[in-house]
Amino acid sequence: MSIECDNLLSFLSDELEEKEKKAFAEHLIHCPECTREYDQMTEAWNSLKWDFEEFAPPSSLKSEVMNFVFESNPEIPVPVRKVKKWSSFFRKQFTPITSGLLLATLVLVIVLLNSNVQLKKELSAINLPVEVETTLSLQPADKTAVNMNTDGVAYVLQQGEERRLVVQIQNLPTLKESEVYQVWLLNKGERANAGTFKPDEAGTGLLTYKLILNDQFNQIGITKEPDPNGTQPRGKKIVGSS
């Protein structure tokens, strides 16, 4: 006898919770004693249902029963229930978490699509020739400085719709560790950042910068900056276009 065996009668009279019911059904498979008892008792239990006499109801009962069934349960309830089921099914799918994840995925898809389009444009532009749109020669800002033979050139290159700024400078003064040269686009007194670079040991520096469509400028300037993080010039101007 185990504790489970104790549930035999409750199982027979269907008083167990779903979980206990399952547990006992499982137990029944492994307990020969319960199986034997259960078989005997089930036979008696099932025969109990015959312990009554058939009895004719009042003749009015049929219409009452049928009205009750078909009024409380219309004959075509299936589609209605299905619609409800589907809508609640969908609602169940969209918990705050899944909605959030879905939104994040959508954003990611849009970003990726966009960059893909961008990439395709660039690739298709490869077939087009690069043309020099503008050339600016660069001179030292401090022309009085002795031994200042720094000079260079800046080009605006056009390839299809794309515009690129290329800056090349020779004989730049050497920089201290975190220092960089920063290129600025000048337009009506406004300065816009066009990137930073470090020259090689010989003092030759090179920078390319992809121009955005509305990047308009008529001059460029190059400053020496303490670090590459500035949005406005902080250091001394070294070279610039005239």
Question: Cα–Cα distances in Å, from 42 out to 9, 12, 34, 50, 135?
Answer: 10, 7, 11, 14, 102
Q: Which of 25, 66, 101, 109 binds another protein (CB under 8 A)?
A: 66
* Residue 102 beta carbon to another protein: minimum distance, rounded to whole angstroms: 33
Residue 49 vs 92, nearer CB to another protein:
49
| Tokens describing residue 143 | 């022309």
* Residue 65 beta carbon to another protein: minimum distance, rounded to whole angstroms: 5
79 binds another protein (CB under 8 A): no
Phi then psi dihedrals of residue 236, to 5 deg? -80, 140
* Residue 35 beta carbon to another protein: minimum distance, rounded to whole angstroms: 14
Question: Cα–Cα distances in Å, from 209 out to 56, 61, 86, 128?
Answer: 99, 92, 55, 19
Q: Cα(56)–Cα(54) distance, rounded to whole angstroms?
A: 7
* Residue 77 beta carbon to another protein: minimum distance, rounded to whole angstroms: 8
Please name every residue paired with 205 in a beta bridge, in sequence order, or none if there are none.
169
Residue type, 15: E
User: How many helices (H) and strands (E) would you count in the chain?
Assistant: 6, 8
Phi then psi dihedrals of residue 209, to 5 deg? -140, 130
Size of residue set near another protein by CB under 8 A: 38
Residue 44 vs 213, nearer CB to another protein:
44
76 binds another protein (CB under 8 A): yes
Residue 57 vs 129, nearer CB to another protein:
57
- CA of residue 147 relative to chain centroid, distance: 56
Residue 81 vs 176, nearer CB to another protein:
81
Residue 68 vs 94, nearer CB to another protein:
68
* Residue 40 beta carbon to another protein: minimum distance, rounded to whole angstroms: 5
Residue 32 vs 129, nearer CB to another protein:
32
| Tokens describing residue 127 | 């077939």
Contact between residue 1 and residue 33 where contact means Cβ atoms under 8 Å apart: yes
Phi then psi dihedrals of residue 207, to 5 deg? -145, 135
The binding track of 23-62 with respect to another protein, each residue x by CB under 8 A or -, is --------------x--xx-xxxxxxxxxxxxxxx---xx
Please report, as ranges, the residues that interact with another protein according to CB under 8 A.
6, 8-10, 13-15, 37, 40-41, 43-57, 61-62, 64-66, 68-70, 72-73, 75-76, 78
